[in-house]
């Protein structure tokens, strides 16, 4: 009898798990995109004549290298990267972003990445882009992939104008854990509420969040994440065409 009760409890547990919605989290730069939207935004502004190439390019390259090395000072980077937003009207920036999407971002969007997103959406999974790159740059990109929800680093806005500052916790490293937990809490949810939680990323900077989901997936990963994924038997996939 006891065995029968245990078997029923196991079956009920499996059925309950199967009935739960899954959540799929996607990093953006070098994961869904075959390139970095943050780094290339700086290059785009230089090409548009809105930034001085000599001074901006060198610092942009150094910050990007710091990111890859895992020692990026996120607040110094944001001070650098968000300053150009404060120098133009939001209307002008929105128009500029349309050109950026067409000329720079869409060539980085791969069919494999879109197919992955579509597979999760078709399964009824809650899909979220979670990225360290600021939400001004990334919201239209998430929308282009058909993903409604974005958690990015939020630029501060006052009186309809970007200030060059940051609002709240940057969505970077451990900050991604904080941001997804806060976002879910506001929805009355928690990561443990989902049957499965996926997180797709290319970067070792995302290990804090990858360690907290049930299904971490390395995507065209950097050497550090590749080694960690192999050690822990995580899947490693490519979304490049």
pLDDT at 195: 98
The residue assigned the tokens 């804090």 is: 208
pLDDT at residue number 85: 96
Residue 118 is a catalytic residue = no
- Rg for the chain (alpha carbons), in Å? 20
The pLDDT value recorded for residue 82 is 95
Is there a contact between 56 and 42 (Cβ–Cβ < 8 Å)?
Answer: yes
pLDDT at 31: 98
Q: Phi and psi of 233, rounded to 5°?
A: 60, 40
- Fold for 18-237, please state it: Rossmann fold (3.40.50)
Catalytic member of 4, 10, 12, 27: 27
pLDDT < 50 positions in the chain: 2, 11-15, 17
- From 29, 38, 206, 222, active-site residue: 29
Per the DSSP assignment, residues forming a β-bridge with 151 are 130
| Structure confidence at residue 8 (pLDDT) | 52
Whether 29 sits among the annotated catalytic residues: the reply is yes
């Amino acid at each position: 009898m006891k065995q029968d009760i245990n078997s029923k409890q196991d079956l009920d547990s499996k059925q309950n798990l199967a009935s739960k919605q899954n959540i799929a989290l996607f990093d953006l730069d070098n994961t869904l995109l075959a390139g970095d939207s943050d780094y290339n935004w700086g290059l785009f502004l230089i090409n548009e004549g809105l930034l001085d190439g000599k001074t901006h390019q060198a610092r942009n390259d150094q910050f990007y290298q710091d990111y890859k090395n895992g020692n990026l000072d996120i607040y110094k980077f944001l001070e650098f990267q968000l300053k150009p937003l404060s120098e133009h009207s939001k209307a002008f920036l929105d128009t500029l972003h349309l050109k950026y999407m067409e000329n720079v971002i869409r060539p980085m969007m791969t069919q494999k990445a879109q197919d992955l997103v579509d597979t999760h959406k078709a399964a009824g999974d809650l899909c979220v882009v979670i990225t360290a790159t600021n939400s001004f740059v990334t919201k239209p990109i998430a929308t282009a992939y058909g993903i409604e929800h974005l958690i990015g680093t939020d630029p501060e806005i006052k009186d309809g104008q970007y200030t060059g500052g940051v609002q709240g916790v940057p969505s970077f490293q451990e900050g991604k854990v904080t941001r997804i937990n806060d976002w879910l809490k506001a929805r009355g949810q928690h990561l443990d509420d989902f049957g499965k939680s996926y997180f797709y990323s290319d970067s070792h900077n995302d290990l804090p969040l990858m360690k907290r989901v049930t299904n971490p997936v390395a995507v065209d990963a950097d050497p550090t994440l590749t080694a960690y994924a192999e050690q822990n038997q995580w899947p490693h996939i490519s979304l490049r065409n």
